[in-house]
Chain A
Amino acid sequence: MSREAFEARHRRQWQRLEELVAALEHRRFHADRAQLPELYRHVCHHLALARHRLYGHDLELALNRLVQRAHQQIYGPLHPGAGAIARLLLEEFPRAVRRRAGLFLVSCLCFFGPLLTFFALATVDLDFIAGLLDPATVAEYRQMYEPAPVEERGLAGDLTMFGHYIHNNVSIALRSFASGVFAGVGSLFVLIFNGCVLGAVGGFLHAEGLGPQFWPFVAGHSSFELVGLVLAGMSGLLLGLAVLQPGRRSRGLALREEARAATPIIAGAATLVMVAAVIEAFWSASALPSGLKYLAGVAGWFALAAFLLLGGRRNGS
């Protein structure tokens, strides 16, 4: 069959598919939509024929384009409903963490190790820590936690701090994940560096005798924020391990698979840091009694531990 005859015979079908796909692309109704798979398969066949019979590059390109557009309509993305997102965060997230429990412990060590070390250093040698911190920062912290009656800062202040915490802390978590692709170095740096800073600041304030103001403030959100940061670092380390230790896969494939496996963890970690931001902005600075704040803090740690240990378990798993 000559190209002209081939075109004459099938042009009608190509036009129908073209119209149908154009309608679907613009999310318009089209009466023939149920015929999409059938038309698509026919045109796939025509493309294969056109290639085999060498009907010309231009016809191949046109049919290739048409097939590709129809392919996109048929194999479109599934938009997850609220149920799928809840399943990701409430079931897949804790499961994914437990599956790599060893790596989680390593990440904890990289973060809480420096944190406790610097905290201990501050209680032993306060001047050493004060020398490490920027003097302006020291003055700021002193003023922030000086013993004065707590003033409520109002909704606007709370909201500003909320935006600030999200913008800063969640970004740190996401950056810590992304920079893990460099053999894990970025994530390790974020974990260790933040551990050192938080330990130094906490130790400094405690040793200065500002604990009674500092501890009630951080108690409420401490669990979610610290564990969120650790988990973000852990998800980054997964990327790093894929590059360092791909096993019997190519590095590209290993990275792709481990990135998929790390997705629930970084999603969960970012969510934890967001939860921490809500608590820190609207609860931690309130004038509630310290006892209540300590209680909420302890409850947070227990709830989070129970969630990570038990969340998403099915019978027998």
Chain B
Amino acid sequence: VIDSIRRVETPEGVEILLHLAGPLPRAAAYGVDVVIRSALYLAAIMVLSAFGDLGEGPILLVLFVGEWFYPVFFEVLASGRSPGKRLLNLQVLHDDGTPIGWTASLLRNLLRFADFFPFAFGAGLVCASFHRDFKRLGDIAAGTVVVYHDPLPAGAELPLVDAQRPPWPLTLVEERAILQFAERQALLGGERAAEIADYVMPLTGRRGSEGVEKLLAIANWLVGRR
């Protein structure tokens, strides 16, 4: 199945689902960070240039630290989120879903230089576009993923209709598919929903919108509204 979810098993034996973020929101977050970083540089330069010649060296040090380590501080000390990532609801985590530590953060941000090559994150974009988890080179080397901090809101709630027992026992996968369809059918639009419902005509015995109604009824039965 192709989807943007990464499954991680915790030591407690339960799976957590991480909702991976693609290159676009990440590029936007980077843009925000560039603006914020430039503002910080400007502020530092204004303050330090008040010291005349004595301020020149410290200005260069600020530029050096900002260039390489600005994301590291935020990733490790502000739970994986630079200001740009915070604004775009993104977060960096280890592959196993734990918060990112110093080593991984340093690696992924040092390798940002390679991802930027030859310009405008060319290598990183190519790499992320082909990678199952949208990882740029730095993410592969560091073992990190970028995920949505709060997953996108789920579709509409399951509409309340009179429950009906399915004509025969269903497998867990089938039940899950029916439930997800029922939760999302409002977002799909009537015709598309009917088209999808037609695929399970043997189950519903009906066509078109009546098939959709029947699936909703079965879904209500599945969640225990009997």
Q: Which residues does A use to contact B, with CB under 8 Å? A: 1-5, 25, 40-41, 44-45, 47-48, 52-58, 61, 64-65, 67-68, 71-72, 75-80, 155-164, 166-167, 170-171, 174-175, 177-179, 181-182, 186, 239, 252, 255-256, 259-260, 263, 266-267
Q: A56-B183, A77-B101 are in contact. Are A178 and B113 (CB under 8 A)?
A: yes
Candidates B14, B68, B102; contact of A48 at CB < 8 Å? B14
Report the Cα distance A267→B56, complex, angstroms: 26
B114 touches A182 (CB 8 A): yes
A164 B103 Cβ-Cβ under 8 A: no
A104 to B110, CA, bound (A): 21
For B91, the closest partner residue in chain A by CB is A72
Interface of B is mostly: helix
Evaluate contact between B64 and A252: CB separation under 8 angstroms.
Answer: no
Interface residues of B in 56-115 (CB under 8 A from A): 56-61, 63-64, 67-68, 76, 79, 93, 97-103, 106-107, 110-114
Using CB atoms, name the residue of chain A closest to B224.
A2
Q: Which of B11-35 contact A (CB under 8 A)?
A: 12-14, 16-18
Binary CB contact string for chain B from 201 to 226 against chain A (1 if under 8 A, 0 otherwise): 00000000000000000000011111
In the complex the two chains form, is B143's CB within 8 Å of A41's CB? no
B135 nearest in chain A by CB position: A252
Residue from A4, A54, A71, A256 in contact with B10 in the complex, judged by beta carbons closer than 8 Å: A71
Q: From A52, A80, A158, A259, name the one whose CB has the most chain B CB atoms within 10 angstroms.
A: A259
The listed residue (B57, B112, B155, B180) touching A159 by CB distance below 8 A is B57
B165 at the interface (CB under 8 A from A): no
- A157–B53 touching, CB < 8 Å: yes
Are B14's CB and A72's CB within 8 A?
no
Q: Is the CB of A77 within 8 A of B57?
A: no
Out of A5, A71, A178, name the residue touching B97 (CB < 8 Å): A71
Q: Which residues of A contact B110 (CB under 8 A)?
A: 174, 177-178, 266
CB-defined contacts of A64 to chain B, threshold 8 Å: 16-17, 151
Contact partners of A260 in chain B: CB under 8 A: 103, 107
Which of chain A's residues have a CB closer than 8 A to the CB of B63? 167
Give the complex CA separation of A111 and B150 in angstroms.
49
Contact of A45 among B14, B158, B175 (CB under 8 A): B14
Main secondary structure of the interface of A (DSSP, over half): helix
**Minimum CB–CB distance for A172 against chain B, Å:** 11
Chain A neighbourhood of B111, CB < 8 A: 178, 181, 259
Q: How far, in angstroms, from A260 to B180 measured CA to CA in the complex?
A: 41
Contacts A159-B57, A177-B110 hold; do A56 and B16 have CB atoms under 8 A apart?
no
The residues of B that contact A174 with a CB separation of less than 8 Å are 68, 110, 113
A49 to chain B, nearest CB (A): 10
List of A residues within 8 angstroms of B180 by Cβ: 57
Is there an interface contact between A56 and B223, defined as CB atoms closer than 8 Å? yes
Q: Apart from A72-B79, A166-B64, list 16 A-B contacts with CB within 8 A.
A: A5-B224, A44-B13, A57-B180, A61-B154, A64-B16, A64-B151, A67-B16, A71-B97, A71-B98, A75-B99, A77-B76, A159-B56, A160-B56, A163-B64, A181-B114, A255-B141
Min CB distance, A284 to chain B, in Å? 16
Please give the distance in Å from B215's CB to the nearest CB on chain A: 14
Q: When the two chains form their complex, are residues A263 and B103 in contact, meaning their CB atoms are under 8 A apart?
A: yes
